[in-house]
């Protein structure tokens, strides 16, 4: 009887240890998948909503090969997205900016040169906005800093210049070119209602992103998610009302 009680207690302790370990791993996992960017106050990286709506965002384009491929997939699957374009790429491909707008997508500002330090922040912001306005007749409101790096001072400068800094809450990690399946898995594992998802349609050869995109959208839609632009997502944000 004594032994029985002892082993039960031992089992109980083991069970409790397991619960603590699982809980701890869960927390670690969460802190790993929730980027440090989330800790940058004053930036926008998710919408507070229970509705199953997410915003796909594509950085570093437009690219003459990969952007049309991305647009074809979005069109076929009736999905909307936001493209954070680079001024220098936009200048070279103004017809793609027009196509983006005509097909119901939104354009954000991703600087002109992709200078991580943003030494000419204001100049690049307005130069890129001007190129987009000339091609489409629309101004940019959302700004995504290169690499997602933004200091408090830069954040204030962006605000003063009439833009909002947008980061992300789900990273597809397509910038690492890890293969098609990991890109799909990264998104589907971390997605939640109101998420802003980071992907790329330029800056480098993005065939993995293009191959992953159809599967990502199919899976999200099968789970009941709708894919919206950032502006649409914000209208559903309870903290914005």
Residue 129 binds Zn ion, judged by CB under 5 A: no
Instruction: Between 51 and 141, name the residue whose CB sits nearer to Zn ion.
Output: 141
Does residue 66 interact with Zn ion by CB under 5 A?
no
Minimum distance from residue 114 beta carbon to Zn ion (Å)? 6
Nearest distance, CB of residue 21 and Zn ion, angstroms: 38
In the bound state, the residue with its beta carbon closest to Zn ion is 59
Applying CB under 5 A, the site for Zn ion has a residue count of 2
Residue 201 lies near Zn ion (rule: CB under 5 A): no
Q: Report in angstroms how near the CB of residue 143 gets to Zn ion at its nearest.
A: 12
Residue 62, preceding bond cis, omega within 30 degrees?
A: yes
Nearest to Zn ion of 60, 73 (CB atom): 60
Q: Map residues 21-60 to x or -, x wherever contact with Zn ion holds by CB under 5 A.
A: --------------------------------------xx
Choose between 60 and 106: whose C-beta lies nearer to Zn ion: 60
Is 124 a binding residue for Zn ion by CB under 5 A? The answer is no
Q: Would you please indicate which residues are annotated as catalytic (active-site) residues?
A: 59, 200
Cβ nearer to Zn ion, comparing 53 with 230: 230
* Residue 60 beta carbon to Zn ion: minimum distance, rounded to whole angstroms: 4
- Backbone Cα Rg of the chain: 21
User: For residues 206 and 63, is the Cβ–Cβ distance under 8 A?
Assistant: yes
Question: Which residues here bind Zn ion, judged by CB under 5 A?
Answer: 59-60
């Amino acid at each position: 009887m004594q032994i029985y009680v002892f082993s039960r207690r031992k089992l109980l302790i083991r069970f409790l240890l397991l619960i603590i370990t699982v809980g701890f791993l869960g927390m670690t996992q969460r802190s790993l998948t929730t980027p440090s960017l989330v800790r940058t106050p004053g930036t926008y990286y998710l919408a507070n909503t229970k509705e199953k709506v997410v915003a796909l965002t594509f950085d570093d384009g437009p690219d003459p090969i990969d952007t049309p491929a991305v647009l074809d997939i979005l069109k076929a699957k009736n999905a909307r997205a936001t493209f954070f374009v680079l001024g220098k790429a936009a200048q070279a491909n103004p017809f793609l900016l027009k196509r983006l707008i005509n097909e119901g997508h939104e354009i954000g500002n991703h600087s002109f040169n992709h200078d991580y330090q943003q030494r000419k922040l204001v100049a690049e912001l307005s130069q890129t906005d001007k190129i987009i306005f000339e091609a489409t007749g629309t101004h940019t409101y959302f700004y995504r800093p290169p690499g997602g790096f933004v200091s408090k001072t830069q954040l204030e400068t962006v605000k003063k210049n009439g833009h909002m800094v947008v980061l992300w809450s789900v990273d597809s990690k397509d910038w690492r070119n890890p293969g098609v399946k990991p890109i799909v898995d990264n998104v589907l594992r971390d997605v939640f209602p109101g998420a802003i998802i980071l992907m790329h349609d330029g800056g480098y050869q993005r065939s993995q992103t293009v191959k992953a995109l159809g599967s990502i959208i199919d899976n999200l839609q099968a789970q009941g998610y709708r894919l919206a632009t950032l502006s649409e997502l914000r209208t559903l944000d309870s903290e914005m009302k």
